[in-house]
Amino acid sequence: MRAKIHYYLRFVFGISRSEIKGLYSLFLLLLIYVLASMYYTYIEKEALAISFEPKVWNSALVKMPKPREWVKYPVHKKWERRAGPTSNFKSSIFPGYVRKSVQNQHWALDINLADSLAWIGLKGIGPGFAKRILAYRQRLGGFNAVLQLKEVYGLDSVWVDENKSHLNIGLGVYRTLKINRLAWNEFRHPYLPYAQVKLFLTYRKQHPYIASFEELEKIHGLDLAVWIRLKPYLSYEP
Q: Which CATH superfamily is domain 54-61+107-168 in?
A: AF1531-like domain (1.10.150.280)
Strand stretches in 25-114, DSSP E: 61-65, 69-72, 89-90, 97-100, 105-110
Judge whether residue 96 has pLDDT over 80. no
Instruction: Let me know: does 45 contact 116? Beta carbons within 8 Å.
Output: no
Neighbours of 174 (CB within 10 A): 14
Q: Among 52-66, 106-120, 135-149, 217-231, whose mean pLDDT is lowest?
A: 52-66
Judge whether residue 77 has pLDDT over 60. no
Long-range interactions of 161-168: CB distance < 8 A, separation 24+: 163/122, 163/124, 165/64, 165/108, 166/64, 166/106, 166/107, 166/108, 166/109, 166/122, 167/108, 167/109, 167/111, 168/62, 168/64, 168/108, 168/109, 168/110, 168/111
Its sign, for the CA torsion 17, 22, 28, 34, is negative
Q: Which residues pair with 235 in a beta bridge?
A: 178
> Across 56-60, 62-66, 78-82, 153-157, which has the greatest mean pLDDT?
153-157
| Tens-digit pLDDT profile for residues 10-66 | 556 667 777 767 777 888 888 898 888 888 777 766 555 444 444 454 555 554 444
Could you tell me which residue, 80 or 151, shows the higher pLDDT? 151
Q: Which amino acid is at 27?
A: F
Q: Which amino acid is at 60?
A: A
Residue 182 in 3-state DSSP? coil
Judge whether residue 186 has pLDDT over 50. yes
CA–CA distance, 87 with 27 (Å, rounded to integer):
67
What does the pLDDT read at residue 19? 75
Q: Among 76-80, 164-168, 200-204, whose mean pLDDT is lowest?
A: 76-80
Instruction: Let me know: does 209 contact 230? Beta carbons within 8 Å.
Output: no
Judge whether residue 93 has pLDDT over 50. no
CA–CA distance, 95 with 98 (Å, rounded to integer):
8
What does the pLDDT read at residue 190? 93
What does the pLDDT read at residue 132? 94
Query: Which band of pLDDT confidence, cut at 50, 70 and 90, is reported for residue 103?
Result: very low
Computed over every residue of the chain, the mean pLDDT equals 76
124: Cα within 13 Å, side-chain hemisphere = 10
Judge whether residue 149 has pLDDT over 80. yes
Q: Among 45-49, 92-96, 126-130, 186-190, whose mean pLDDT is lowest?
A: 92-96
For residues 86-115, give the mean pLDDT. Answer: 58
- DSSP code of 67? P
C-alpha separations of 211 from 25, 50, 232, 236 in Å: 68, 46, 15, 6
What does the pLDDT read at residue 4? 66
Q: Which of 181, 180, 150 is nearest to 167 (CA)?
A: 150
Judge whether residue 151 has pLDDT over 80. yes
Query: Which band of pLDDT confidence, cut at 50, 70 and 90, is reported for residue 184?
Result: confident
- DSSP code of 126? -
Residues of the chain above pLDDT 90, percent: 39
Query: What predicted TM-score, i.e. pTM, was given to this entire model?
Result: 0.57
